[in-house]
Chain A
């Protein structure tokens, strides 16, 4: 019902502006009348107040409508199962969160992005990773695929097949900028020459 109202709201708005534009283009709207009306609205304080109020209400309505529509889109992207006390739905972004956290634990992965899609019979996970230079890619990717599939089945209690696609986007050297920063000693430990000498 709310989604239908939201769609109706946007339809009315777009139809109104479309009609206005067409009327303007085909000279259906008299420019002098339009200017007179606009001047009247601009000059009268009560009409200005009404215009401002309706503008504010329209902004609120547009936010509510957008939230309803996007909420519906988000609702569709879930994995669901039922318990005796009710249903449990897991959003695909939660699965993505878990995959990212799993990836962060592995020292070979420098950067990881995950995209999860739910199909009728399987869940497909697309991973884009940046690996460290010394990593043996075939062994590591096989291990990663296995780990992700088993961990997701275990954590989410999913029986569906899990298809993990890994795309190695980049290989970076083990001593990248971040590591260099980590290797720098803390400032307190830097020895300053002649620090203890008193003159």
Chain B
């Protein structure tokens, strides 16, 4: 996990990848048709010991030119058109992260892992 850094007159602002993941997580859940964001082993363990996580299995990859790729595994609700849901999630996540962090999002990769009620 490489924290994102931005220089100001007073010092450096670093945004941790977990923060970007949390923004993406919450933005994705705003979209109709998204049932949930998938969990990975780490978030399952954290939940098991009582710690709340809002990043799931979202993977943030930073490039050298400060462009970011967000990889999101999601479960879609049954009855929704998946390409539409995926496109809305990509747009919403990109807008939310760019708005909150001023970082450039290169792409948002959506992985549909299942269909839920």
User: A residues near B, CB below 8 A?
Assistant: 67, 78, 81, 83, 85-91, 93-94, 97-98, 101, 154-157
Contact = CB atoms under 8 A, between A and B. Distances in A.
Summarize B's interface: helix, strand, loop or mixed.
strand
A94 B41 contact: no
Contacts of A86: 69-70, 90, 106-110
A193 to B, nearest CB: 43
Given A67-B41, A94-B76, A85 B94 contact: yes
Contacts of A156: 82-83
Interface in B41-99: 41, 69-70, 75-76, 78, 80-83, 86-87, 90-91, 94
Chain B interface size, as a band, is 20 to 34
B111 A91 contact: yes
Contacts of A78: 111
Interface of B: 41, 69-70, 75-76, 78, 80-83, 86-87, 90-91, 94, 105-117
A89 B91 contact: no
Contacts of A88: 82-83, 86-87, 90, 109-112
Nearest to B92: A85
A154 B82 CA distance: 9
A85 B110 CA distance: 10
Q: Which 7 interchain pairs have the tightest Cβ spacing?
A: A86-B107, A157-B83, A85-B90, A97-B115, A90-B112, A88-B86, A86-B108
B113 to A, nearest CB: 5
